[in-house]
Structure 1
Amino acid sequence: MSTYSIKAVIFDMDGVLIDAKDWHYEALNKSLSIFGLEINRHDHLVTFDGLSTGQKLKMLSKTHVLPESLHPFINEMKQQYTMDLTYQLCKPVFHHQYALSKLKDSGYHLAVASNSIRNTVKVMMEKSNLMQYLDFYLSNQDVSKAKPHPEIYNSAINKLGLNPKECIIVEDNENGLKAAKASGAHVLKVDSVDDVVYESIMNFIKSVEEKND
């Protein structure tokens, strides 16, 4: 019989704490448009959602005439466009601040594990005023294999010094969910940033702990 109680909540960022999916989509397409390429909305949602820009470019090079030598330039342009949108649009959201502040006050460890690059995570967490509640954050630059590989979640759990069964991961997209489930932690799936509210997280924690009793 398991006796683990939940001690930490690890959040994905895009689509969970920050409504930035369209920002990444628009920024990458703006960069690709220089070379006459575009990812359509269906492919973005079904195939590319939750992957890093580097992973997306590698996939595009397999199916389009996109030389790999252009990847660094496109990636750099994409990150700049993402930052432009972030500074314009990223703002504090009350129900996220409330949820994280209440969880922190209740003694839970909090972390973010994102497939975005380190600077994007840092700026988005600062602009949304959520950084103050986090123990730490991890980006795709902190691991050798990005989601859907579980390395980033394994790293976060190890950094917390916890057993996977003492952690909840909040995720939204297929690639992130694969990574979260493979880590062995409990996974709370959300459909959008609007689902990330204190009551829902606490209800999930209680349901997990009741099953463990």
Structure 2
Amino acid sequence: MFAAAIFDMDGLLIDSERPLMAAWIEAALTLDIALSHSQYLQVVGLAHPESRRILASLLGGEQAYDHAVGHVRSRLQLERSDGAPLFPIKSGAAEFLAALHARGTRCAVASSSTRGQIQACLGSLGLLHHFSAFAGGDEVVRAKPDPALYLLAAERLGVDPADCIAFEDSENGTKAALAAGMRVVVVPDLKHPPAAIAERAFHVLGSLHDAVPHLPRWFPTAEAAGAAEKLV
């Protein structure tokens, strides 16, 4: 039994990684650079300073990077219809969050995105009310795979990290949650975790929809937990 659920955001709750990758590959072509999928995947799950360093190196420097950023932002805005969220919700996320909310399970977000970006993205999808706390990449000194984000999220929830299940899609995020002392459910997005990481995970699932059947065991209601204690 666990007290709380803590979620990554990009690639787990929102389908942001694919449109971002497509926009960066297109931006690289405007610089006459063929950025491959495998090259771009190097930055998935990294905080902004590190991803910027890698992309700038791949694109030919800071000036090229700044040009590409402008193109990416323009492309994503062009693809956004009036009033629509910038990124769609991932399959199973709304269902799983609603089920947790109905059970009274406390939830938080621990994302490398800034706190403002977290609240804007989740707010546009009508998901903010599911979360009691947020921890953004701009609020910690060390990014994932350091455990700081997950420890901050647990602190803001007022729960012991050992009483939390973290939900992650990336290798660095999984390492961060494990280092924080949490169980980790991995839901891979663009990259599957290496075998060494998958073996340390609590579960590896195809989507958050697949997590719903586990709810009675992972996060029992107060009534169910009380009944279980009486049987002991």
CA contact (8 A) 1:53 1:75 kept: no
Higher relative contact order, structure no. (Cα contacts within 8 Å, ≥ 6 residues apart): 1
Measure, in 2, the Cα distance between the counterparts of 1:122 and 1:27: 23
The one-letter code sitting in structure 1 at the alignment partner of 2:177 is A
Counterpart check, 1:24 vs 2:20:
yes
Give the partner amino acid of 2:175: K
Identify the residue that residue 120 of structure 1 maps to in structure 2: 117
Question: Quick check: which has more Rg, 1 or 2?
Answer: 2
Take 1:76 and 1:139, find their aligned partners in 2: how far apart are those partners?
23
Amino acid at match of 2:17: K
1:112 is paired with a residue whose SS is: strand
Distance 1:54 1:15, change over 3 A: same
- The 5 A counterparts of 1:128-147 are 128-147=125-144
TM-score normalised over the length of structure 1: 0.77
Q: Which residue of 2 aligns with 1:58?
A: 53
- Aligned partner letter, 1:54: P
Label 1:95 to 1:182 Cα distance change in 2 as closer, same or farther (>3 A). same
Partner residue, 2:200: none
Of Structure 1 and Structure 2, which has the larger fraction of its residues in helix?
1
RMSD, matched Cα = 3.3
| Cα distance in structure 2, aligned partners of 1:84 and 1:113 | 29
Please give the per-residue CA displacement for 1:132-173, whole angstroms capped at 9, x wherever unaligned.
211132222222222222211111111112211111100111
Written as runs of structure 1 = structure 2, the 5 A alignment for 1:13-52 is 13-45=9-41, 47-52=42-47
2:79 and 2:109 mapped to 1: Cα distance? 21
Percent identity of paired positions between Structure 1 and Structure 2: 25
How many pairs align? 204
Return the alpha-carbon distance in structure 2 between the equivalents of residues 76 and 118 of structure 1.
22
Are 1:196 and 2:208 counterparts? yes
Alignment of 1:65-104 (within 5 A): 65-67=60-62, 74-75=68-69, 78-79=72-73, 81-82=75-76, 85=79, 87=84, 90-91=87-88, 95-104=92-101
TM-score scaled by length of structure 2 = 0.72
List per-residue Cα deviations over 1:49-83 (Å, max 9, x = no partner). Answer: 2113432221244566313x665665565455445
5+ residue gaps, structure 1, are none
Secondary structure of 1:15's match? coil
Change (3 A) 1:79 1:167: farther
Contact in 2 for aligned 1:150/1:180 (Cα 8 Å): yes
**Gapped regions of structure 2 (runs ≥ 5):** 190-204, 220-224, 226-231
Deviations 1:12-46 (A, max 9, x none): 1122111221122123334444444453112333x
Shifted more, 74-83 versus 23-32: the winner is: 74-83
Q: Work out whether residues 10 and 111 of structure 1, in 8 Å CA contact, stay in contact via their aligned partners in 2.
A: yes
In structure 2, distance between residues paired with 1:15 and 1:54: 19
